[in-house]
Amino acid sequence: MMRRSLKIAVSAIVTVSLSLGVGSVAAADEVPSDTIEELIDAAPDAEQALKFPEVSVDSTVSLPTESAEAITFSHEDGASLSVGLPSNADFVVDTSAELGDKTVVTAQYMTTDDASRPAGLPSARAVLVIPNADAPSSYDFDIQVPEGTEAEYRTDGGITLVRPAATQQGEPQADTVIADINAPWAVDANGIEIPTSYSFDGQTLTQTIDLSAVTAFPVVADPKVDWMGYFVRLTYSKAETRNMRDQGIIIGAIVGAGATIAAAAGPAAPAIIAAVYAASTVAVGVIAATASNAVGDGKCLQLDIPSMYPSIVKCRS
């Protein structure tokens, strides 16, 4: 997994940006008279959207009411992350209008069914609707992150924002996972998936979509961010992973990592460590089995805290 250090803006707000591109389309493809809302509701994950502004959620996330604002996630220690909006798309709150001849962007709260995420943490997305081939081919969103944050590029095309914590010798590597930018996607008016990808220069994230003459407009894209609430991730070495095959060792090893978890989690540490203690006895069997599979694959164990969700990853160098 590749990492790139992000350039830091000394600011309390973090802006994540994504973009989308358009190619040519057959002249016969006309923009339908559907409303913006109907177009978005026909795209993937519509069932997870909580309508704005009718639905009020936890104060850890707020949605913009005008284009100069951003989707903002906040943490109790004062750090925050925000998803900005592209300057070359019209921001809309009222999606009941019909789509015109310019790209529009709106924001939505999202639910999630990802069992690996701590319960109750918010997600949000900025939905782009591109009307025709004359629209811009890319949309940029500015990024600012807490000091020390790094970007991990995932094989699915998404990006994880993490802040490594100081780890003592003999302890698992600890990272604070701040947010996940989901894998990019885009679909055309016929529901056909369009090839799309992110590029990131440290301060600006751009999503580009490759369209062809047979693509039907409008095209909808969903830059979605899962706020992790300073979720802690422990990555074990090969030797540590071998030990974690033993159920008798697991709880002691996790409890013994309390100082590491506290260093990574900051003010949230007491609640996280309490959750770890509560979940450990239930999770040990799954952790042991995952560690055993990791050893068999020549890989290492990664453990998400406080969900106790184990996964297999390449071993750290």
Angle at 232 between CA 108 and CA 249, to 5 degrees: 140
Is the pLDDT confidence value at 1 over 50?
A: no
pLDDT at position 253 is: 80
Task: Determine if the pTM surpasses 0.85.
Answer: no
pLDDT above 60 for 168: yes
- Residue pair 107/122 in contact (Cβ under 8 Å)? The answer is no
3: β partners: 152
Helices of type H across 64-213: none
**What is the structure's pLDDT at 151?**
87
CB neighbourhood size of 295 (10 A): 17
Instruction: Please give the residue that has the higher pLDDT: either 182 or 305.
Output: 182
pLDDT classification of 20: cutoffs 50, 70, 90: very low
* pLDDT-derived band at 272, boundaries 50, 70, 90: low
**C-alpha gyration radius of the chain:** 21
Cα Dmax for the chain = 67
pLDDT at 116: 61
Instruction: State residue 304's pLDDT score.
Output: 84
Cβ neighbours of residue 296 under 8 Å, at least 6 residues apart? Answer: none
Q: Over 80: is that where the pLDDT of 262 sits?
A: no
- Residue 189, pLDDT above cutoff 90: yes
